[in-house]
Amino acid sequence: MAKLKVGILISGRGSNMAALIEAAKAADYPAEIAVVVSNVAAAQGLKIAQDAGIATAAFPHKGFPDRESFDRAVSAELEKHGVGLVALAGFMRIQSPWFPAHWKDRIINIHPSLLPAFPGLRVQQQAIDAGARISGCTVHFVTADLDAGPIIAQAAVPVLPDDTADTLAARILRQEHRLYPTVVRWFAEGRLSVAGSRVAVAGVPQGATLLFSPDP
């Protein structure tokens, strides 16, 4: 059976991209990374992808008159490589409504909080400032609303009394690198279905939690 082709969008180092590339090396992994695209020509993650033998492309967004024209160029590149799933991995660019509509139920993102808590930026500091006892990461389908698409799965970590934004971010990131490849596997295996704001995962008993709670 042909593997699902995944296109990854990055803006920086792409650590979640690297985790997906590593996962895809396994012979039994049902997806392959077909292309990595960035809106930053000097993004560190592009070289990581190139060194792994993966096609890359850069579309500096300042060269486009508006968001939708940029999004259409990126989409054309993804489609050129036969992409069936788009995975955002530190892609620091708000997309026009056209893009998630065009890729509806075929575009996912990983966010470093337990959505719907703490959307947007500086989320680890948001959690600390709010006195949260737990935080974590969320993989969700992308919609036109920022960090608000249907939640697929989450992983929780403790917020420790002496945490800084950096120490909390590092603890969360370790779980991001575990959770994202798992969700991409589920998608590639055809196990995800979306009904409104809810996502079901085939093979998971109804009512079972999709919150992973690893050791600190």
Taking residues 207-211, report their average pLDDT: 67
Q: Which domain does 29 fall in, by range? A: 1-103
Do 88 and 23 sit in the same domain of this protein? yes
Do 133 and 178 sit in the same domain of this protein? yes
Do 209 and 117 sit in the same domain of this protein? yes
Do 115 and 57 sit in the same domain of this protein? no
Which has the closest alpha carbon to 33: 102, 95, 82, 105?
82
Q: Given a cut of 60, is residue 215 above it in pLDDT?
A: no
In this structure, the strands spanning 55-58 and 198-201 are unpaired
Which CATH number characterizes residue 4's domain? Answer: 3.40.50.170
pLDDT at 212: 77
pLDDT at 152: 96
pLDDT at 208: 63
Do 99 and 183 sit in the same domain of this protein? no
Q: Given a cut of 80, is residue 210 above it in pLDDT?
A: no
Do 201 and 128 sit in the same domain of this protein? yes
Domain-ending residue, one of 52, 74, 103: 103
Q: Given a cut of 70, is residue 207 above it in pLDDT?
A: no
Do 32 and 60 sit in the same domain of this protein? yes
Length of the chain: 216
Do 120 and 87 sit in the same domain of this protein? no
Q: pLDDT category, 81, cuts 50, 70, 90? A: very high
Domain-ending residue, one of 103, 119, 135: 103
Q: What's the pLDDT tens digit per position in 84-110?
A: 999 999 999 999 999 999 999 999 999
Do 114 and 60 sit in the same domain of this protein? no
Mean pLDDT of the chain: 94
Q: Given a cut of 70, is residue 185 above it in pLDDT?
A: yes
Taking residues 6-23, report their average pLDDT: 97
Residues carrying an active site annotation: 111
Q: Given a cut of 70, is residue 25 above it in pLDDT?
A: yes
Q: What percent of the chain has pLDDT over 70?
A: 96
State the Cα–Cα distance between residues 177 and 14, nearest whole angstrom: 11
pLDDT at 216: 46
Q: What's the pLDDT tens digit per position in 115-131?
A: 999 999 999 999 999 99
State the Cα–Cα distance between residues 188 and 85, nearest whole angstrom: 8
Q: pLDDT category, 186, cuts 50, 70, 90? A: very high
- Residue 213 or residue 215, greater confidence: 213
pTM: 0.94
pLDDT at 109: 98
State the Cα–Cα distance between residues 24 and 16, nearest whole angstrom: 12
Do 114 and 215 sit in the same domain of this protein? yes
Do 122 and 90 sit in the same domain of this protein? no
Question: Hunting for tokens 């096609």 — which residue is that?
Answer: 55
Q: Given a cut of 60, is residue 177 above it in pLDDT?
A: yes
Helix residue ranges per DSSP H, the chain: 15-23, 44-51, 67-80, 98-102, 123-129, 165-188
Taking residues 1-23, report their average pLDDT: 96
